[in-house]
Amino acid sequence: MVNITVGATVKWKNDDSIPHTVTSGTPEGPTKEFDSGFINVGDSFIHTFDKKGLFEYFCLPHPWMTGKVTVD
């Protein structure tokens, strides 16, 4: 989990050997807050959070890979 303030930007970098996604929501219910599409090896994705809340995310091809961003 990451804690940030409104207006902060989070950067996810793929240091793995296979592509991943950063998709908002959960595997049971993706939302439309943000979606990186496939992030290839060595690439990154950034998203600026402009409102408070708890934002869950997961990887589409690997739904057990999850995370949360708390924005205060």
Confidence (pTM): 0.94
**2-4 and 66-71 beta bridge pairing:** parallel
Listed by start position, the domains of the chain span 2-71
Q: In what order do the strands lie in the sheet with 2-4?
A: 2-4, 66-71, 53-58, 23-26, 29-35
The per-residue pLDDT for range 60-69, each reduced to its tens digit, is 999 999 999 9
Interacting residues of 52 by C-beta distance below 8 A, sequence separation 6+? 6, 71, 72
Fold that domain 2-71 belongs to in CATH: Immunoglobulin-like (2.60.40)
The per-residue pLDDT for range 3-62, each reduced to its tens digit, is 999 999 999 999 999 999 999 999 999 999 999 999 999 999 999 999 999 999 999 999
Tell me what pLDDT residue 22 has: 98
> Any alpha helices (H) in 1-72, and if so which ranges?
none
Tell me what pLDDT residue 64 has: 98
